[in-house]
C-alpha cells in the first residue's frame, strides 16, 4: 500500500485524489492531531477550558456557567479519536467502583459485567473473538478486593496508566461497543424508532435498520456515540450518567431588537417577579441564563447499580467533568491545589 506522502504534496489538488487516498489523508491528519493526546488525561482545572475558548463568547459563557452554577472544577480529557465516549465511560465506570471501595458492591458489579457476556452471545457475536476484548476489563476489575496476594491492587494512578495502554484501553472500548450493539439488537423493537438517517452514511434515504445502524454506527471503530448508544450502554450496565451539552445549538435564539415594543420591560435583571426563597431564585436565574448548559440525565429506572458522573459533550467529542470534592468524599483529588 502506498503511503500518503507518496501522492500528496502541497500542490496536490484534493479533487485529483481517489476516494481511498482522500480517506488515507483524512485518517493521517486525524491521527497526527490526536497522537499526542493521552487516551485519558489527568485532571485539568476547568480554567484551562476557559482559556481554550477565550475568543468564543458563546462557549465561554457556558463554561463559566458550569464552573459557577454547578460544582465542576475540573476536566479529564479523552483522546478525540471518535472512541472518546466509550473510553471515558469505561474509565469513569471502573474509577467509580474503585472509589466506592465497597466489597459487596464490587462483587455485584463484577457479576453483572460478567453476565453481559451472554448478551453478546445472544446477539450472535463470535465468542472466540469477543472474549479477547472482555479479558482486559475483567482483569482490571479483578484487581480490587482481591484475595490473591500476588495481585497488585488497582489505584487511580494505575487505572490511568492502564487506560493509556492502547491494547487495554482499546479492548475495553470495543467490549463496550459490542455490548451497546448487542443491547440495541436484543431490544430493537424499542429502539428502532429512534434511529435517524444520517445523511452522509445512508444516501439511500430513510432510516437504517437496527442491523445496519449497529454495524455502521456502533461496532465500527471511531464512530461517535449518540443518544441511542448512550441510553443502551447505560441500561446494559445499569449505570446512570449525565451529559452536559456545550454547543451553540441549544442557546436560546436572540430576540431581534425591532420586536421590542417601546416601553416594554424586558425580563431579566430587575424585571420578572421575585420568587421567594434563595434556592428558587437561584434556579430561576439558572433557567433564564442564556449561558446555561443543557444537562441531560441518562437514568436507569429500576435496578441502578451506580452512577458515574457527568460527561461534557462538545460537538463530536466527550470528556469527563470532575466534581468539586464534597465533604462525604474527602479523598477526591483537587487539581487547583495539586497544580502549584
Partner 1 sequence: MSEARLRRVNKEIADCQNDKASGILIALVDDSPFHLVGTFPGPENSPYEGGNFDVDIVVPDGYPFQPIKMKFITKVYHPNVSSQSGAICLDILKDQWTPILTLKSTLMSLRSLLCSPEPNDPQDAEVAKHYLSDRADFERTARYWTEIYANGSESARPPNADDDAAALARRKKGVKEDPALVAGLKLEHVEQFVNMGFERNAVIDVLKRLNYRGANVRNVTDDRVVNELLGI
**Contact positions vs partner 1 (CB under 8 A):** 1, 18-20, 23, 125-126, 128-130, 132-133, 166-167, 170, 174, 177-178, 203, 215-216, 219-223
What is the pairing mode between strands 239-245 and 294-298? antiparallel
> Closest distance between partner 1 and the C-beta of residue 167, in Å?
5
- CA 192, CA 184: separation in Å to the nearest integer? 8
Query: Distance of alpha carbon 178 from its chain centroid, rounded?
Result: 16
At residue 170's C-alpha, the angle toward residues 165 and 174, to 5°, is 160
Question: Hunting for cell 429500576 — which residue is that?
Answer: 302
Shortest distance, position 272 Cβ to partner 1, whole Å:
50
Cell 416601553: give the residue: 263
- Closest CB to partner 1 among residues 164, 216: 216
What burial class does residue 330 get, using C-beta atoms within 10 Å of its C-beta: 0-12 exposed, 13-18 middle, 19+ buried?
exposed
Whole-number minimum distance, CB 103 to partner 1, in Å? Answer: 31
Q: Which is nearer to partner 1, 57 or 222 (CB)?
A: 222
Query: Which one, 45 or 136, has the nearer CB to partner 1?
Result: 136
Q: How far is the CB of 51 from partner 1 (least distance, A)?
A: 32
List Cβ neighbours of 120 (8 Å cut-off, separation of 6 or more): 127, 130, 178, 179, 182
What cell does 271 get? 424585571
Residue nearer to partner 1 on the CB measure, 24 or 228: 24
Rounded Cα distance, 250 and 253, in Å: 9
CB 156, min distance to partner 1, A = 25
Q: Which one, 128 or 340, has the nearer CB to partner 1?
A: 128
CB of 223 to partner 1, least distance (A): 8
Amino acid at each position: 500500500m502506498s503511503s500518503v506522502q507518496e501522492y500528496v504534496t502541497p500542490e496536490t489538488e484534493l479533487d485529483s485524489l481517489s476516494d481511498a487516498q482522500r480517506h488515507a489523508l483524512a485518517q493521517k491528519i486525524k491521527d497526527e492531531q490526536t497522537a499526542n493526546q493521552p487516551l485519558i488525561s489527568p485532571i485539568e482545572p476547568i480554567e484551562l477550558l476557559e482559556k481554550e475558548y477565550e475568543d468564543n463568547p458563546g462557549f465561554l459563557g457556558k463554561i463559566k456557567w458550569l464552573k459557577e452554577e454547578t460544582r465542576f472544577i475540573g476536566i479529564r480529557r479523552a483522546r478525540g479519536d471518535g472512541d472518546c465516549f466509550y473510553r471515558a465511560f469505561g474509565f469513569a465506570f471502573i474509577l467509580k467502583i474503585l472509589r466506592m471501595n465497597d466489597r459487596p458492591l464490587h462483587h455485584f458489579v463484577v457479576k453483572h459485567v460478567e453476565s453481559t457476556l451472554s448478551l453478546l452471545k445472544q446477539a450472535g457475536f463470535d465468542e472466540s473473538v469477543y472474549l479477547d476484548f472482555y479479558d482486559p476489563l475483567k482483569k482490571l476489575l479483578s484487581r480490587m478486593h482481591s484475595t490473591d496476594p500476588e495481585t497488585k491492587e488497582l489505584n487511580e494512578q494505575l487505572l490511568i496508566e492502564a487506560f493509556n495502554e492502547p491494547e487495554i484501553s482499546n479492548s475495553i472500548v470495543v467490549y463496550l461497543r459490542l455490548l451497546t450493539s448487542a443491547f440495541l439488537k436484543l431490544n430493537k423493537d424499542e429502539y428502532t424508532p429512534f434511529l435517524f438517517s444520517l445523511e452522509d452514511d445512508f444516501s439511500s434515504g430513510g432510516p437504517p435498520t437496527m442491523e445496519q445502524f449497529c454495524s455502521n454506527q456502533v461496532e465500527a471503530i471511531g464512530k461517535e456515540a449518540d443518544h441511542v448508544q448512550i441510553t443502551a450502554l447505560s441500561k446494559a450496565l445499569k449505570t446512570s450518567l449525565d451529559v452536559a451539552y456545550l454547543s451553540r445549538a441549544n442557546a436560546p435564539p436572540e430576540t431581534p431588537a425591532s420586536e421590542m415594543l417601546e416601553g416594554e420591560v424586558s425580563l431579566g435583571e430587575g424585571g420578572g417577579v421575585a420568587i421567594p426563597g434563595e434556592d428558587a431564585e437561584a434556579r430561576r436565574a439558572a433557567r433564564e441564563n442564556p449561558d446555561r448548559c443543557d444537562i441531560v440525565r441518562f437514568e436507569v429506572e429500576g435496578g441502578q447499580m451506580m452512577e458515574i458522573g457527568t460527561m461534557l459533550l462538545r460537538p463530536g467529542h466527550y470528556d469527563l467533568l470532575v466534581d468539586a470534592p464534597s465533604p462525604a468524599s474527602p479523598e477526591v483529588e483537587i487539581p487547583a491545589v495539586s497544580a502549584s
